[in-house]
Chains A and B, each alone.
Chain A
């Protein structure tokens, strides 16, 4: 379904613009459809359909038999991966996300709590979300462009139980006018172990935490007598609208406090709230100059172009998801999630004072002077953290310092001998040349 560009207002609540809700006082001055400086909405957009997302297309075999076979027949050797994420051959009863996704939802309390002060309720719901474990929370208006077509819902279960309610995106956005968006951050040190089971562990279990949190928050809202829709909208645009970050060159939300190392989650509700607005943390200026993610990407899936491309009515950096996906069957025993673009991003740093200070400096620098500052910051980042982050990380018995063809035990302090563990657990491949070889194999 094609959604026409909205006219003339983004904010459906029409309430206070004084910034008391933590929102942005100047939002009335913003143009319609403003989603921050990192993306430009220039034309009509098509509502997303979960049946056409990369996972669904891989399942249908659009990327060829190798990747399709990987999707249905993959066997992950690392036990943490098998129980952290519902891969095709995992036992879904061992994966908490699947257990929760397949359970029934609670009913809405018939006695609706009257909301007299919308601003106070917004503060309260944000605080509840933080208490339940969210690292950042924002409210967006439910934008029909990003609500799933025909009311389809997507679950955290990789088998993706999708059920189309048949409602149009406009109907859903009227029924659930607010989107509660939150982020759960991945551990910084563990993300440095990208292309490794350590990175996989933080990725999967931050996702699990976000999933439990989303279910808790949804239950809380239902108990207050309001309705909730989970998994019914695209998360990334909602994060931009809620002011939780900007869209990076790597196609991921770059958040204010944690950079790209975040798991976004959104739930739609009819609980009266005050929407926040997009933020400017300089991502647009940074990504134009930096390109560290594009350089580091082992499959060259991230664009090096200076200019953005028009995709579904939105100007943004293009990502080649097909090459990003196609490498996975070949690396399955070594890692499950690449995360190199996340680890390489200069915004992905510990949330400490010098990071806050740098971001504040960037934010307060006039836009025309930002490229100079960004060049200096990228040079500093290259000098201290390197162009491709390759820090050695140890977690439990996992160790990224173990070289190719060496093997070690994944149990820390184990007294076993090396030859008792024929399966290597600490490697960093593939690099770009290996990735190219995989594609050549596939082409044959």
Chain B
């Protein structure tokens, strides 16, 4: 299972030299742009809150402790919220192909895992730490991050793309960021 392989991979080390972050708001826009370049349909940044983190002993196999750096050991949710004060929340558009039956939902989950893997690698390469976590409620967290809103019956409606947005794990980091849902689209523009 590639999905398990990607989500269970420990990731690379943290680069020894930290990149100077002069403008957290610009860095938030940069991270959202990168997320969209790597396939996110929508992305936002919000402050990490221990209320939506799960403890490693809560029984979920993708909880905070699973992705902690080996040297650190399991991390409880209060520590994680302090250590990684920002969360990058992404959603990937769900795609279906009627002729390729059964290939739908999990593929979008895999795309989200690849996207989170890349975000984590990038953050570590610029000298900050980042880990994956599974929030208690992905939909509520996505709402907090400005990706969409919850309907009265508790369903998540994405700001761009209705309810066809797959949510899941998020990346929490100590990279200085600002709460943002920047419109940065991650696309290159040719200037004439």
Contacts and interface: CB of A to CB of B under 8 A. Distances in A.
Interface of A: 79-80, 82-83, 90-96, 99-100, 103, 124, 127-128, 130-132, 187, 189-190, 192-193, 198, 201-202, 205, 208, 212, 215-216, 219-220, 391-397, 401, 409, 411-416, 420
Contacts of B5: 99-100, 103
Contacts of B99: 124, 127
Nearest to A416: B22
A202 B187 CA distance: 11
A79 B167 CA distance: 27
B18 to A, nearest CB: 11
Interface residues of B, number: 46
B191 A91 contact: no
Interface of B: 2, 5-6, 9-13, 15, 19-23, 25-27, 29-30, 33-34, 37-38, 95, 97, 99-100, 103, 107, 110, 114, 117-118, 121-122, 124-126, 184, 186-192
Given A83-B118, A205-B37, A416-B23, A189 B188 contact: yes
Nearest to A396: B33
Contacts of B23: 411, 413-416
Given A190-B188, A393-B191, A394-B189, 11 more contacts: A79-B126, A82-B125, A94-B13, A94-B125, A131-B97, A131-B103, A208-B114, A396-B37, A397-B26, A401-B191, A411-B23
Contact of A415 (B20, B22, B121): B22
A96 B189 contact: no
Contacts of A128: 97, 100, 103
A99 B29 contact: no
Nearest to B5: A103
B191 A411 contact: no
Contacts of B126: 79
A370 to B, nearest CB: 30
A396 B19 contact: no
B191 A396 contact: no
A394 B19 contact: no
A100 B2 CA distance: 8
B27 A411 contact: yes
Nearest to A199: B188
A100 B5 CA distance: 8
B165 to A, nearest CB: 18
